[in-house]
């Protein structure tokens, strides 16, 4: 049995979830990304994985029917959420209706894992962007169980993860709502784990933030104690992520990076929005919402007391969100990074032109401080 080409595998895990013999698992390639792996001794060649793989089968895309600028009405969430707080607001709506929410948080080993929760006390775990690929695990199976038990389910993930879920389910469910994030691309989680380990902290890192109170700043915490922070321009991992150096191979050919979308709702930052043209003045972070289906509008209608929305033109959202137009372009530093990856992630990041640029800026800052200059 053979699935999609390894280079095209998104790591969505639909094949792992569908296999009746548990013959498929996710394995790491030489570059650290997770891809399908079949245990031929357990495989009975039923073909379920081939029928479920999104890469091997057609997908249902929808052109957005409405484009919105939006933000949460909750003042606390306005300060702590990565963008306009729309994901958190939608989670609250579903929890109010005794539904189950699925999103990404870190486990005890700093692996970003998608799992389901049923309590508002868990919402803080989902806040802040995770600039690393999350692990779907067996969440698709759990979603199917919840749906068949009549629960409302909200699943938020990258477009390829949403597509994997839809192919696994194989049919439409009226009680399922899907939200995809405007995705630039995702690095293998191994890169981030190894990078954090290379920083050599004695304290255990228990939580991470890339956005939120310190926007575009990598913040590492031990419980409530902030033990490391650097703005993106001064952090090797962060700037390499923003420049598109360390993504999975398939991200540079992403078939979801376009105007037509795979989910009920698409959310992301509303880059380039002229805030002076808003009907309601607002200086905080603002999200783009693309309403792609009638179910997406239905979910937003339920959230009317949680978010403020203004309709905008689709072209306005497309203009400054490149990943609504095309995949990330391969950066010139990517080959340097991959060629040095056998030395470890940290050294590979430092070896690139981007890494050397950061090193120069760090040295310059140290010199300025020694000389007593601001």
> Would you say residue 318 has pLDDT above 70?
yes
Q: 199 and 182, same structural domain? A: no
- Helix residue ranges, H only, 44-156: 48-52, 75-80, 86-96, 123-126, 139-148
Whole-angstrom distance, CA of residue 70 vs CA of residue 309: 4
Q: 338 and 272, same structural domain? A: no
pLDDT tens digits, residue range 244-261?
A: 999 999 999 999 999 999
Provide mean pLDDT across the span 85-108: 93
The residue among 137, 127, 58 whose CA lies nearest residue 92 is: 127
The number of folded domains in the chain is 3
Is the backbone of residue 234 left (phi > 0), alpha (psi -120 to 50) or beta?
alpha
**pLDDT value of position 90:** 96
Q: 180 and 255, same structural domain? A: yes
**pLDDT value of position 373:** 59
Q: 318 and 193, same structural domain? A: no
Query: Which 8-state DSSP code applies to residue 164?
Result: H
How large a percentage of the chain has pLDDT more than 90? Answer: 84
Higher pLDDT, 213 or 89: 89
The residue among 319, 329, 314 whose CA lies nearest residue 247 is: 329
> Would you say residue 32 has pLDDT above 80?
yes
**Cβ neighbours, 10 Å, residue 172:** 9
Average pLDDT score, the chain: 93
Q: 359 and 274, same structural domain? A: no
Whole-angstrom distance, CA of residue 115 vs CA of residue 231: 29
Read off the pLDDT band of 114 (50, 70, 90): very high
* Residue that terminates a domain, selected from 57, 74, 97: 57
Q: 71 and 153, same structural domain? A: yes
Q: How many CA atoms lie less than 13 Å away from 218 in the CB half-sphere?
A: 20
**pLDDT value of position 26:** 95
> Would you say residue 148 has pLDDT above 80?
yes
CB contact at 8 A, 256 and 183: yes
Place of tokens 């999609």: 4
Residue 4: CATH number of its domain: 3.30.70.3270
Q: 118 and 264, same structural domain? A: yes
What is the domain range of residue 3?
1-57
Q: 30 and 156, same structural domain? A: no
**E strands, 251-352, in order:** 265-269, 287-291, 307-312
pLDDT tens digits, residue range 53-94?
A: 999 999 999 999 999 999 999 988 888 777 889 999 999 999
Read off the pLDDT band of 374 (50, 70, 90): low
CB contact at 8 A, 218 and 237: yes
Q: 119 and 201, same structural domain? A: no
CB contact at 8 A, 188 and 341: no
pLDDT tens digits, residue range 224-239?
A: 899 999 999 999 999 9
Q: 365 and 291, same structural domain? A: no
pLDDT tens digits, residue range 156-199?
A: 999 999 999 999 999 999 999 999 999 999 999 999 999 999 99
Q: 290 and 195, same structural domain? A: no
């Amino acid at each position: 049995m053979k699935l999609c080409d390894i280079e095209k595998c998104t790591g969505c895990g639909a094949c792992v979830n569908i296999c009746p013999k548990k013959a498929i698992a996710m394995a790491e390639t030489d570059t650290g990304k997770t891809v399908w792996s079949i245990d031929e001794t357990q495989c009975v060649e039923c073909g379920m994985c081939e029928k479920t793989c999104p890469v091997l089968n057609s997908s249902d895309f929808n052109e957005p029917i409405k484009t919105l600028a939006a933000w949460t009405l909750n003042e606390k969430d306005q300060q702590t959420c990565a963008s306009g707080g729309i994901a958190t607001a939608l989670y609250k709506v579903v929890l109010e209706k005794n539904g189950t929410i699925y999103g990404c948080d870190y486990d005890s080993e700093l692996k970003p894992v998608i799992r389901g929760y049923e309590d508002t006390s868990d919402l803080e775990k989902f806040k802040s962007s995770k600039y690393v690929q999350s692990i779907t695990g067996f969440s698709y199976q759990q979603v199917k169980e919840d749906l068949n038990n009549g629960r409302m389910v909200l699943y938020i993930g990258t477009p390829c993860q949403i597509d994997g879920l839809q192919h696994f389910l194989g049919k439409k469910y009226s009680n399922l709502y899907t939200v995809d994030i405007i995705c630039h691309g995702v690095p293998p989680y191994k890169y981030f784990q190894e990078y954090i380990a290379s920083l050599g902290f004695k304290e255990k890192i228990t939580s991470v933030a890339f956005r939120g109170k310190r926007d575009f700043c990598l913040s590492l915490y031990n419980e409530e104690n902030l033990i490391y922070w650097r703005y993106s321009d001064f952090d090797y991992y962060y700037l390499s992520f923003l420049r598109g150096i360390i993504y999975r191979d398939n991200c540079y050919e992403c078939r979801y990076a376009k105007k037509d979308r795979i989910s009920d709702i698409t959310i992301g930052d509303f880059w380039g929005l002229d805030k002076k043209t808003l009907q309601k003045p607002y200086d905080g972070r603002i999200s783009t919402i693309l309403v792609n289906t009638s179910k997406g509008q239905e979910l937003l209608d339920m959230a009317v007391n949680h978010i403020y929305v203004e309709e905008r033109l689709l072209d306005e959202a497309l203009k400054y969100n490149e990943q609504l137009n095309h995949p990330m372009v391969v950066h010139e530093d990517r080959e340097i990074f991959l060629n040095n990856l056998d030395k470890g992630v940290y050294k590979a990041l430092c070896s690139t032109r981007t890494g050397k640029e950061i090193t120069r800026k760090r040295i310059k800052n140290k010199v300025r401080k020694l000389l007593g200059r601001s």
